[in-house]
Chain A
Amino acid sequence: MGFKIGIDVGGTFTDLAVADPNGKIYFTKTLSTPGNETDGVIRGIGKAAGHFGKSLGEFLRATDLVIHGTTTATNIMLQFNGAKVGLITTKGFRDEIEIRRGIKESMFDVMLEAPYPIAPRRQRLGVTERCNFRGEVVTLLDEEEARGVVRQFRGLGVDAFAVCFLFSFLNPLHEERVGAIIREECPGAYICLSSQVLPRVRDFERVSTTAVNAYVGPGLSRYLGQLQEQVQGSGYREDLLIMQSNGGVASASQCAERGVYALFSGPAAGIAAASFIGDLIGYKDLITVDMGGTSYDVCLIKSGQPTITTDSWVSRYRVAVPMIDIHSIGAGGGSIAWIDRGGALRVGPQSAGASPGPACYGFGGREPTVTDADLVLGYLNPDYFAGGEIKLDQERAAEALRDRISRPLGMTVEEAAHAIYRVVNNSMSNGIRVVSVQRGYDPRDFALMAFGGAGGVHAAVQAVDLGIPTLIIPKAASVLCALGDLIADAKITETRSFISSVDDLDLEEMNRTVAELIETGMKKLPRDALRSVEINRYVEMRYCGEVHEVSVPIRGLTAHISRQNVRATTKDFHRLHEQLYAYRDVNNAVEILNLRVDVIGKIPRPLMEEAAFEGEDPSRALKNKRPVYFAQLGRYTDTPVYDGSRIRPGNVFMGPCVIEESFTTIVIQPGQEAILDRFFNYIIEIGERS
């Protein structure tokens, strides 16, 4: 056994989690190097090597696995600096990606502008061909015309081709033929066929996903190639593995082909880590919240499995591959507080970001933010924020609050700070309601796990709001994504349309399709992950006439799916439908739309360090006291502040108190009780709602 390295690149920091040959995990952070992520990654690995007393080369030669969460694909979609895409469609339908079914994101905002065109119209051309709704060819592919289109695109300098024909999910032959023509005409070009990227019904969803894949693919591929070359050049002998949005890892080469799966790679890793930790300490049902500078990401994990969705949008493009369902709201530490025209106090979604940042950063920010409010309320330590990297200026925070909020509303600065705290907490609680209550789950049956830099300041309030009995904050909260890279299994998701009513289902055909999906998935698994493989099969069903599907795990332990299995699965469908939409009708005909298979290759997990309890008394870790505001007490209270680095497992804390980890602050509310468990997680018992 050698080292395993998990690397997560974020906007500000590059985080590393390294499992040593004994399975003990070491965490470290370096500043990210935007524009050239590779440098920061190599520097981080070098830093970790130093920790183990090795040179970079020695360290990488002794490393079995490097797993990476990357923001490259996400950033390409945020900055729109992707490939020059040439989109080939069925003749007469080249504008579907611009017509986009007429969807407009904000109903009453007439001034909302068109989305950025990732495939402008001159890079979209139709080719004569057509299949009907049964997949039968009704118009033959005009190969010469297709060749002409490819050449025209070559002339325009297109470097990524996306091909999306109507009903290609039923019959991919025409797309495959055009793929071959592209390879002949433009050897080396990046080619995406919709029948491979997303072989599912719905043309807009498919064309958009395929175009995004083509748009992010070449850039991602270049970055991963470069990184792989660098780590391999320095002594690493294995394949680089990449975290994907489905919550599992894949090889860099596989990932480069399916760029859409690399979107949200970082956040997915955090959720993988959360479910791992939850599993370890006996909480399989979790709601996770990740609070960063600009956003608050919420996810629900049921029985150790994060919810999966195919409804995602990325920078106003539809990406319909199955990915972890992360509900994101614009509420983070940098979210700006403002007063609207009706005189109501609002927080976000505008964010001061990292630059100019909250007023208290002193980087020129004048707008009051959540971080400023948290500082005024005493939750944050002005001298110890982000590991001491940033000094917080209380005067500037108070000034921004006074100018923008407290004077206009006629309240004190402290009242304004607390009002901001309440408003943002409410948005967060509503965000949690969306993934739980609104999807038929009772949050009281879950534990809340908070991570990200700012999660620990607010999470106890959400737990109280929603009646969640237990709050978990890992000591590693600020580097959780890197941990997730380290522990995630390999996972390939394959999906295909399979349209049939449940009543006259061709079971053999269904079994054949599932077997094909499994076989394709197996081929894509990294070879290290083939030792222990688990297969999860899902069927997406709906009542006849509905247009949205519910994804239902196929019941049954045998490889062959029987009638009996289908009946049990259909029963589950009725139950899930009622849970999600408060309605079921067992007499109604049910139809199947898609099949999905997750092929999971188990990767041996590092052992988490487990320490013995060392007594309840935390006084050794007591740093000092400072006045902190608690609503329940109605005033500022001189509150004990503990130094996280000196806290030992078994230490117990009675609220109110504040725990300062180097990159995270945890606020324990009055009446709550916290303990650091054997795996270095703070477990906070939430009292009754007061």
Chain B
Amino acid sequence: MISGNLADAHRAFDPVAVEILRARLQSIAQEMSVVLERLSRSYLINEAHHLGAAVFDQEGRMLAVHLGHPSHLWALALSVKHALEKFSFDLEDGDVIIVNDPYEGGTALPEMTMVHVTLLDGENFLFPAVRVRHADVGGGHPGGLFPSAMQIYQEGDIISPVRLVKSGALLRDVLKRLVKNNRTPDLYEADLTAMIAAGRLGQRRIRELCQEFGAEFVYHAAEPILSYAARYLREGISRWPRGVSEGRAKLGGKLRGNFEVEVRVRLLVSDESIIADFEGTSSQVSQPLNCTLASTYAFSTLPILAAMGEEVPLNEGVLEVVKVEAPEGTIVNPRFPAAVSLSSGQLCSLVSEAVGSAIASRTGKVMKKVWGVVPQVIAFNEEGFLSQMSLVAGGDSASEEADGWLSPAPLGRQQIPCIEQLELEHGKRFRMMEREIVCDSAGPGRTRGAPGTRTVLRVLQPDMELTSFGPALQAQGDRVELRRGKSGDVFSMYIEKVPLQEGDSLIVEKGGGPGAGSGWRREVSAVLEDVKNGYISSEAAAAQYGVILEPQSLLVDEAGTARRRAQMEAVKDKER
């Protein structure tokens, strides 16, 4: 009635058991993330979830990963490899290695990986690694974001792989040396401690796993877990037409000097893989916009995962399918010591945009934006006060099926600040005056983009300086403006280290996301709803959607609407 091998399957190596183990490793990664969130003292980690946690196999291949921010996806894998390489033959159980070097698998200096070495019978075994973005990393500008940096030396403390814990004992001299090079030493130390605690928890869970499944089984399960992810992804892309397509994305603006860069990608889809070839992309620039290899890998992978339309099992098996070719010396693979600190909020989105548009022309479907340029705003003073005000909602694009909605970054778990919590902490320094949706900011379309938002802060105490640079990069609809309360002067675009005065207003606007399809095809009832809800004005309803409304009653002028929509359609036809 039932074959004998079912009974064997229960004990021996079988696909169901591998799937069970994979789920367990995934939950270990997630549990480490939760510990990081809970223990961390800095907003970037505990609320904005700028973190990642992963479990690696004995050879340093990433088996499971849980992310709060996509920037860490491959930086975790690559920096772990660099760290292991540096310390090969010199590792002991309970060692912890820390690294932030963007040129050794990293992204930007505040983002650090911590590797928790785990040996079993003297051999490398499954081990955890965690990665977060710290509040500060020393260097020429608070927060590790230095708009006028020209080389990485100016951006902060470069940490090539170094041992922070030896056989379970914290090396206090190393810790002191790290903390000494930081503007927020207490915060930094607390967050490093959180990383150590999270890693230790991961190690404990891995040991429990071995007790349950047997170390031998766990050891050998890595291969099938990796090939499962690769197979999953291959099956997903098997529906895409084979062949080559191209994508481009441009960015220009002014930082220390004007710049104009372009990311170009050729996407080759075959049965086995997707190759993203960045040949033809701009050379590296003197501004800190350069995007290291780990970022280029991550932000190339994002649109591919997004195009699958479901949760893809994430582990290093994905890199068997997704290949990146980035010529050295370009902005997507710069040479040391090019500055990199502004890449993640800015240039990375170009990588995703270029790859996304190449996918769209391959699949013929509207590709939702997976990552957006963010207006980056940071307030600080010399006493160690540091506040990131970058996180604002808005910018989600429409899909073919649905309108965009308010989430700060489509592929992140960032939470924008809680107003009351922010003011309890910094209420003497500033007060939030407004955080609301901006009418007519949503990109029109048959489905429309998410509306943008405006955040206004009033300065109450003159002890801070301000730096902002997002909108200098001309992202659509974004705006940062500092209005002097007393003189009425206005600073906007690129602002660096401007002292704030009492009564100043800081206005940060995130533009709306693009719509999909033609506005005049949007259902009239949906347009009417949008007007009633104040997402769009009656004027925009007429101009962008061809819906004519009676001014007072908001009744639809059916005849007028039909005429206007016919005109819009005719114009569109003529354009073709």
Contact = CB atoms under 8 A, between A and B. Distances in A.
Contacts of A627: 1
A140 interface: no
B90 interface: no
A583 B41 CA distance: 13
A133 interface: yes
Interface residues of A, number: 76
Contacts of A414: 1-2, 6
A585 B43 CA distance: 20
- Of the listed residues A108, A120, A412, A633, the one surrounded by the most CB atoms of chain B closer than 10 A to its CB is A108
A113 to B, nearest CB: 5
Contact of B2 (A99, A108, A340, A636): A636
Contacts of A634: 4, 6-7, 10
Contacts of A427: 23
A114 B404 CA distance: 8
Given A546-B38, A582-B200, A109 B311 contact: yes
Nearest to A343: B231
A419 B403 CA distance: 40
B420 A203 contact: yes
Interface stretch (B148-156, B164-172, B283-291, B433-441): B433-441
Contacts of B194: 583
Interface string A67-97: 0000000000000000000000000111110
Interface in B422-479: 423-424, 427, 431, 433-437, 453, 456
A110 B398 CA distance: 10
B122 interface: no
A689 to B, nearest CB: 9
A108 B232 contact: no
Given A203-B419, A344-B19, A99 B6 contact: no
A582 B402 contact: no
B383 interface: no
Contact of B6 (A130, A415, A545): A415
Contact of A545 (B190, B229, B313, B417): B190
Nearest to A547: B46
Nearest to A168: B420
- Of the listed residues A114, A427, A631, the one surrounded by the most CB atoms of chain B closer than 10 A to its CB is A114
Nearest to A583: B197
Nearest to B417: A101
A110 B231 contact: no
A132 B423 contact: yes
Interface string A144-156: 0000000000000
A438 B31 contact: yes
Nearest to B6: A415
Contacts of B2: 412, 414-415, 629, 635-636
Contacts of B312: 108
B220 interface: no
B507 interface: no
A201 B200 contact: no
B406 interface: yes
B229 A546 contact: no
B532 interface: yes
A422 B407 contact: no
B20 A423 contact: yes
B38 A110 contact: no
A557 interface: no
A438 B28 CA distance: 9
B410 A110 contact: yes
A623 interface: no
A345 B208 CA distance: 25
10 closest A-B pairs by CB: A634-B7, A342-B232, A545-B41, A114-B405, A133-B427, A92-B434, A121-B533, A341-B235, A102-B408, A583-B197
26 contacts: A92-B436, A93-B436, A99-B416, A104-B412, A108-B305, A110-B368, A110-B411, A111-B309, A113-B405, A130-B431, A132-B423, A132-B427, A132-B431, A134-B427, A201-B421, A202-B421, A342-B313, A343-B231, A344-B232, A414-B1, A419-B16, A427-B23, A438-B34, A547-B46, A581-B35, A634-B6
Given A102-B408, A582-B197, 15 more contacts: A96-B419, A100-B406, A101-B418, A103-B407, A111-B368, A111-B399, A111-B401, A122-B532, A122-B534, A203-B419, A546-B39, A547-B421, A583-B39, A585-B193, A629-B2
